[in-house]
């Protein structure tokens, strides 16, 4: 199974060299369930070419240009992501095969997918088209080994457990794991998009579906391959690797799921076999052509500091995502993406300082302007496009001062300061030289501790004289309830403190980050991924 590679190309066509003729079809009473036959070179003499091209879909697919040494398992694996494979006929002497799926719909989905992404087996392109036959009738006594392979693979697909008591020859290794990987990204300083994941994981085989989500305050993804073997290869190669230098570490496991159900094609989820899916929530679906075209141009881009152990060629993954306006890379201009528009603010409570403190968790805020004629909205300028993307991803939809805020990318390139001598009632503030920037120092540990808003807060820089009760009282005075508290065992300068809700924790962070605890100690507050 080594060396199975999938590359993007075009080429599903209906050929004139189909080989299955009526002379080898068995009686109508043939058992069609889980039946596999391999025809050897001599059997091929029985088959005649067919020139009929009716173009009609069929659940039987004709696969051509197979490498000579390819196994039944590899051919079956092509069909597994699309549905149950019910039969296979290998024509070894002709380097061809017929694959029967349980339904015509599954076959149509498979052909549609492989029309955009030409499958490669053992580094050779192969071609898939509809057969002129509506079902594959074969003599199930011809090849017991091939039948065992299909039964084994089918059992793995449905149960996702290694089979006991099924012996299959080594040339037809049965994948014992799921084709679906669960991916967790640690130390996510730079935003990692669905397109970046697709670019990285596509190196190991056809990626069919991706779903991204946040769970336990961590960015996670489920990614489905066309072949469980590709999932295994990707896990071996990528687990523990960093996407970018010193951050965005991949933690990879096999999922218990064997198939992902994707409803929408957008920033959060994508089914590459179903380009017709709606984007949902009014989000425009990403145009894959844009990302693909941009990826070809990446040889022109220098991306200092972004190349990684994953060796994304010329950071093509990040650049493709940048082309879609999703993410800015260091060294790559992110256009107007450094400025955020924040709306639905509580205009009675919000100040430039409170926005600086909250958005400063995700980047170094340069300027804040609360709009004079629309005081429930503000423009926030971050140090770069990565930081604005990160802040938008984590803070859009969160509650601040009792209102759910909306965070989007602004069309403005910069936040203008008021003309000298003009009083704008303190609505605009320049924080460019603030000593409170968390990310000014290259390689700071703060880069590794960026998490979504959570009820649990991480406190640091606590002086020895301050006790648990002092901190509990301090945080309760922000208007929330302190549910739990724990000093770090080895270092009483740090602690975890849990508020009743995420909204309360956001309020406490705004009020108490940089709070003077005495003895020249200013409290540092950030969101934690831990719970107490």
Q: Tell me the residue ranges of DSSP E strands in 111-246.
A: 120-121, 124-125, 127-130, 180-186, 207-215, 218-225, 242-244
Average pLDDT over residues 323-330: 34
- 3 state SS of 343: strand
Instruction: List helix spans (H) across 367-444.
Output: 385-395
Helix (H) or strand (E) holding 336: none
What helix, strand, coil percent values describe the chain, rounded to 5?
25, 25, 50
Q: Tell me the residue ranges of DSSP E strands in 279-423.
A: 339-343, 365-370, 378-382, 399-400, 403-404, 406-409
From the list 429, 387, 393, the residue with the least C-alpha distance to 408 is 393
Q: Are both 180-271 and 451-527 of the same fold?
A: yes
Q: Euclidean distance between the first and final Cα of the chain, in Å?
A: 46
Name, of 106-110, 146-150, 174-178, 419-423, the range with top average pLDDT. Answer: 106-110
Q: Tell me the residue ranges of DSSP E strands in 240-316.
A: 242-244, 247-254, 269-271
Domain map (residue ranges) of the chain: 60-151, 180-271, 339-416+425-430, 451-527
Diameter of the chain measured on Cα atoms: 95
Mark residue 354 as left, alpha or beta (left: phi above 0; alpha: psi -120 to 50; beta: remaining): alpha
Query: What pLDDT score was predicted for residue 144?
Result: 64
Beta-bridge partner residues of 409: 340
pLDDT tier for residue 17 given thresholds of 50, 70 and 90: very low
Query: What pLDDT score was predicted for residue 282?
Result: 45
Return the DSSP state at 18.
B
The CA distance from 358 to 506, in Å, is 8
The pairing of strands 85-91 and 35-39 is parallel
Return the DSSP state at 326.
S
> How many alpha carbons lie under 13 Å from residue 129 in its C-beta half-sphere?
20
**328 contacts 334 by C-beta, under 8 angstroms:** yes
Name, of 29-33, 93-97, 202-206, 502-506, the range with top average pLDDT. Answer: 502-506
**479 contacts 402 by C-beta, under 8 angstroms:** no
Kindly report the CATH number that applies to the domain delimited by 339-416+425-430. 3.30.70.330
Name, of 158-167, 272-281, 459-468, the range with top average pLDDT. Answer: 459-468
Name, of 113-127, 141-155, 223-237, the range with top average pLDDT. Answer: 223-237
Kindly report the CATH number that applies to the domain delimited by 180-271. 3.30.70.330
26: tokens are 């068995």
Residues comprising the chain, all counted? 532
Segment among 33-37, 162-166, 255-259, 369-373 with least mean pLDDT:
162-166
The CA distance from 142 to 441, in Å, is 70
Whether the pLDDT of residue 49 is over 50: the answer is no
- 3 state SS of 422: coil
Handedness of CA 476, 482, 484, 490 (dihedral sign): negative
pLDDT tier for residue 155 given thresholds of 50, 70 and 90: low
The CA distance from 477 to 427, in Å, is 27
Mark residue 248 as left, alpha or beta (left: phi above 0; alpha: psi -120 to 50; beta: remaining): left
Whether the pLDDT of residue 245 is over 70: the answer is no
The CATH class of 60-151 is alpha beta
Q: How many C-beta neighbours within 10 Å does residue 489 have?
A: 7
Choose which CATH entry (3.30.70.330, 3.40.50.150, 3.30.2130.30, 3.30.450.20) describes domain 451-527: 3.30.70.330
The pairing of strands 403-404 and 339-343 is unpaired
178 or 380, greater pLDDT: 380
pLDDT tier for residue 418 given thresholds of 50, 70 and 90: confident
């Amino acid at each position: 199974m080594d060396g199975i590679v999938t590359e993007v190309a075009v080429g599903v066509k209906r050929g004139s060299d189909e080989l299955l003729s009526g002379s080898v079809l068995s009686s109508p009473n043939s058992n069609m369930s889980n039946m596999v036959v391999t025809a050897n070179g001599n059997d091929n003499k029985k088959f005649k070419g067919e020139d009929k091209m009716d173009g009609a879909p069929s659940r039987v697919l004709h696969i051509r240009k197979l490498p000579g040494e390819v196994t039944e398992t590899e051919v079956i694996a092509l069909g597994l992501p699309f549905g149950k494979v019910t039969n296979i006929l290998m024509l070894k002497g002709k380097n061809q095969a017929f694959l029967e799926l349980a339904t015509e719909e599954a076959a149509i989905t498979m052909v549609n997918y492989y029309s955009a992404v030409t499958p490669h087996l053992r580094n050779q392109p192969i071609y898939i088209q509809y057969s002129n036959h509506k079902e594959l009738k074969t003599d199930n006594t011809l090849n017991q080994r091939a039948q065992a392979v299909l039964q084994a693979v089918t059992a793995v697909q449905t149960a996702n457990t290694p089979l006991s008591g099924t012996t299959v020859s080594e040339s037809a290794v049965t994948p014992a794991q799921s084709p679906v990987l669960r991916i967790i990204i640690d130390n996510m300083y730079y935003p990692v998009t669905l397109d970046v994941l697709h670019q990285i994981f596509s190196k190991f085989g056809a990626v069919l579906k991706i779903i991204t989500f946040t769970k336990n305050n961590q960015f996670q993804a489920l990614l489905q391959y066309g072949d469980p073997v590709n999932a295994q290869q990707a896990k071996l190669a990528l687990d523990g690797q960093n996407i970018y230098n010193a951050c965005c570490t991949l933690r990879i496991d096999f999922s218990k799921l064997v198939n992902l159900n994707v409803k929408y094609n957008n920033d959060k989820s994508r089914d590459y076999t179903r380009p017709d899916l709606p984007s949902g929530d009014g989000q425009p679906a990403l145009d894959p052509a844009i990302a693909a075209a941009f990826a070809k141009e990446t040889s022109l881009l220098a991306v200092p500091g972004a190349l990684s152990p994953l060796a994304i060629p010329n950071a093509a993954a990040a650049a493709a995502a940048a082309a879609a306006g999703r993410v800015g890379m260091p060294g790559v201009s992110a256009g107007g993406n450094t400025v955020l528009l924040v709306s639905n603010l509580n205009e009675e409570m919000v100040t430039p300082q409170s926005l600086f403190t909250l958005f400063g968790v995700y980047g170094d805020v340069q300027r804040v302007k609360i709009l004079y004629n629309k005081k429930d909205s503000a423009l926030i300028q971050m140090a770069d496009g990565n930081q604005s993307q990160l802040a938008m991803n984590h803070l859009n939809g969160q509650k601040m001062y009792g209102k759910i805020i909306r965070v989007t990318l602004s069309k403005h390139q910069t936040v203008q300061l008021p003309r000298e001598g003009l009083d704008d009632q303190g609505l605009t503030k320049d924080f460019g030289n603030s000593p409170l920037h968390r990310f000014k120092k290259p390689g700071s540990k703060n880069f590794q501790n960026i998490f979504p808003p959570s009820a649990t807060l991480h406190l640091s820089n606590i002086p020895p004289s301050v006790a648990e009760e002092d901190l509990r009282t301090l945080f309760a005075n922000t208007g929330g309830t302190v549910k739990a508290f724990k000093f770090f065992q080895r270092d009483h300068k740090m602690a975890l403190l849990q508020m009743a809700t995420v909204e309360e924790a956001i309020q406490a962070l705004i009020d108490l980050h940089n709070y003077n605890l005495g003895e020249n100690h200013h409290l540092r507050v950030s969101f934690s991924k831990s719970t107490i």
